[in-house]
Amino acid sequence: MKKLRRKVYMVAGYNTLSMGTGRKEFNPKKERPGLEDYIKEAGQGTLKLIGGAAHVDECVIGNFMASRFNRQANLAAFFPYVDEGLRYKPAIRVEGACATGGLALMSGIKSVLAETADVVLVIGVEVQNTVKAIYCADFLAGAGWFKNRKAGHAYFFPGQFSDRAGAYFEKYGRDKTRQALARWFRNAIENARLCPTAQEYHNTAKDLEALGMMEPNGKSFVDHLNVFDCSKVSDGASAIAIVSEEGLKRCGIPLSDAIEVMGWGQIEEDITKPPVDLTELSTTKQAIKEALASAGITRDQIGTAEIHDCFTIAGLMCMEAIGFAAQGKGADFILEGHTARTGRVPINTTGGLVGWGHPTGGTGVHQAVTILEQLTGKAGDAQVEIPADRPYGLTVNMGGDDKSLVSIVFKKGH
């Protein structure tokens, strides 16, 4: 990739609550905020931080499946609802399954690089607690090759990653791997308890690893994963502003409150084909390789990462895809404490998808907001130390079963 023609920054991140089971405010029998409420809250949250809608040139909204979950399409037209100052401004909606948020960020980045905008407002949103879990699984199956739906598990994507876990157990050993998945769950919940917007913020369970070690039951769920291995159904939105150097000045934001986009990998794999190797996230691996190469850094310079742990096994396999651990050694890397908030490379410091939540279209944006908070020292109780010799943040946002990938490298502005 050629060197970026101009500097690109992200500023003014905002997250709504990640709402769903686990939050004290969540009651399936009571009316809850709607899609438009989450869009407005997140959008207004970021606009307030950048001095208002007058500073915005373009808008992007990322959403996966509102047309089914909420019977609502044409989401770009909600920007004037967020603020009247956004009337008549260019806006688009993008979609790429669980990588939707990352793709929304990429759209904003490219507008700034194309010099059609100096300030782009990006929102990622999903409201999924509108249907029963089994119907939700059917909707989410659209992230994969839907012609395989009838042949797949009733819980389609848990089934897909259960198959990956089973193959991994067979190839590299079950006992240690299951212990590592339980540790991943524990780290996720402990991190989420430090973030007030996280879905698992109110979680008070004492022995998290014991919960994580609950034996999977294929008769009631899937064969190789338990419910604690899975990210939850979530409602929520995240927003951030993508800006040029001129945009920073326009918004009156100091460089110290910004993170710079250093490089990225954005790639696709054939949705109609099954994985070549169930034990490897090959598309994820390639996206990360391209992101690091375009940023001109190595994985050893990463101080923290937000990765796509839709299931604990995906988190483990992503450690290998990044290269933090050799193939088959991801369990050791986790059990040795390297991914914990006090470890060598703190991963998913506000809980990730398992702990913070997974409002599908918002996840990639939430990852960027978390990296922004960490690299600028504004993560509150969730703050981790970013070593001087490892000043970079990495995000990995995956759509479908390792099909749509966006990985971005960031560094604190100077």
Residues 288-331: tens digit of each pLDDT: 999 999 999 999 999 999 999 999 999 999 999 999 999 999 99
Q: Name 196's Cβ contacts closer than 8 Å, sequence gap at least 6.
A: none
DSSP-derived 3-state class of residue 375 = helix
By residue count, the chain amounts to 414
Do 286 and 248 belong to one domain? no
Domain membership of residue 138 (yes or no) is: no
DSSP-derived 3-state class of residue 168 = helix
- Check pLDDT > 90 for residue 268: yes
164-190 confidence digits (pLDDT tens): 999 999 999 999 999 999 999 999 999
Alpha carbon of 85 to those of 11, 54, 80, 89, 153: distances in Å? Answer: 20, 6, 7, 9, 47
C-alpha span between 233 and 403 (Å, rounded): 21
C-alpha span between 145 and 271 (Å, rounded): 6
Q: How far apart are the first and last CA of the chain?
A: 23
- Domain region containing 212: 144-231+262-412
User: What pLDDT does residue 414 have?
Assistant: 80
Domain membership of residue 66 (yes or no) is: yes
DSSP-derived 3-state class of residue 97 = coil
Do 301 and 161 belong to one domain? yes
Q: Which H or E element spans position 235?
A: strand 235-243
Q: Give the pLDDT band of residue 332 (cuts 50, 70, 90).
A: very high
CATH label of the domain that carries residue 153: 3.40.47.10
User: What pLDDT does residue 1 have?
Assistant: 54
Do 38 and 181 belong to one domain? no
- Check pLDDT > 70 for residue 2: no
Q: Give the pLDDT band of residue 282 (cuts 50, 70, 90).
A: very high
User: What pLDDT does residue 147 have?
Assistant: 87
200-229 confidence digits (pLDDT tens): 999 999 999 999 999 999 999 999 999 999
Average pLDDT, the chain: 96
Number of structural domains in the chain: 2
